Amino acid sequence: MLEVRDIHSYYGKSHVLHGVSLDLKEGELVCLLGRNGVGKSTTLKSIMGLVRAREGSIRFRGEELMGKQPFQIARLAVGYAPEDRRIFRSLTVHENLSIGIKKSQGSGRQPPWTIERIYEHFPALKKRQNSKGAHLSGGEQQMLTVARTLMGNPELMLVDEPTEGLAPLIVKDVLEMLAAVRKSGVSILMVEQNFKAAVKVAERFYVMGKGRIVFEGSVDELLAAENVRRNYLEV
């Protein structure tokens, strides 16, 4: 579904990604792990066109994304849930979801996401549908961010640091939500720092260090790679 090959991305003259390559198959939930500042979020932004990769190739269902604008990539059925959530704090939950509606040129393999379907999958949001974004808890804001992204009917969702700053009990709820989204037919590439949380939902892992992929493997392979966890994940 997604093929990233040897991409190099920059912020100004600062070379951030040094030949990053990764794959995601249809139906997978894959996690990109690593410490702060190693290029994880930049990888997602490069895929989404928010940061322009200068070299390499990014293909979604065989179509080259390099050079496309973010809105063009979104119309191909790629969704992006940013780390800072970016909900509209002065608008209600229902209004935030309504703003998320956009046309998609996806395959139509899955039934479309409507506000009614969102409320079926996210009953907590249905209860808070008339509450303003500013009055939601951190976990509810994260749930709303993912739900709003689903309103664009993505086949692939890029999710950046979904558990950051959340209490352990709320982390559990957010992870269960992402697992349910994947089960609904949406493939997910997730960036995360919380290794213990990620292993509960992800099927495969990439570990990043200083703008490069330093490990690729399954849960069991990552658990066995003590040197990788010690050098690139543990604080």
pLDDT at position 196: 85
pLDDT at position 107: 59
Q: What span, in angstroms and rounded, lies between the C-alpha atoms of 198 and 64?
A: 29
User: Minimal CA–CA distance to 2: which of 205, 216, 188, 146?
Assistant: 188
CA 149 to chain centre: 10
pLDDT at position 11: 94
pLDDT at position 194: 85
CATH of the domain at 10: 3.40.50.300
Which residue range(s) make up the domain with 42? 2-232
pLDDT at position 109: 66
Environment class of 78 (CB within 10 Å of its CB; exposed 0-12, middle 13-18, buried 19+): buried
Overall size of the chain counted in residues:
235
Q: What span, in angstroms and rounded, lies between the C-alpha atoms of 7 and 64?
A: 13
pLDDT at position 103: 67
Total structural domains within the chain = 1
pTM: 0.91
Mention every residue, 6+ apart, whose C-beta is less than 8 A from residue 98: 115, 151
User: Minimal CA–CA distance to 94: which of 170, 154, 158, 147?
Assistant: 147
Could you list the pLDDT tens digit for every one of the 235 residues in the chain? 999 999 999 999 999 999 999 999 999 999 999 999 999 999 999 999 999 999 999 999 999 999 999 999 999 999 999 988 889 999 999 999 998 887 666 656 677 889 999 998 888 899 999 999 999 988 899 889 999 999 999 999 999 998 888 888 888 888 888 898 899 899 999 999 888 888 889 989 999 999 999 999 999 999 999 999 999 998 6
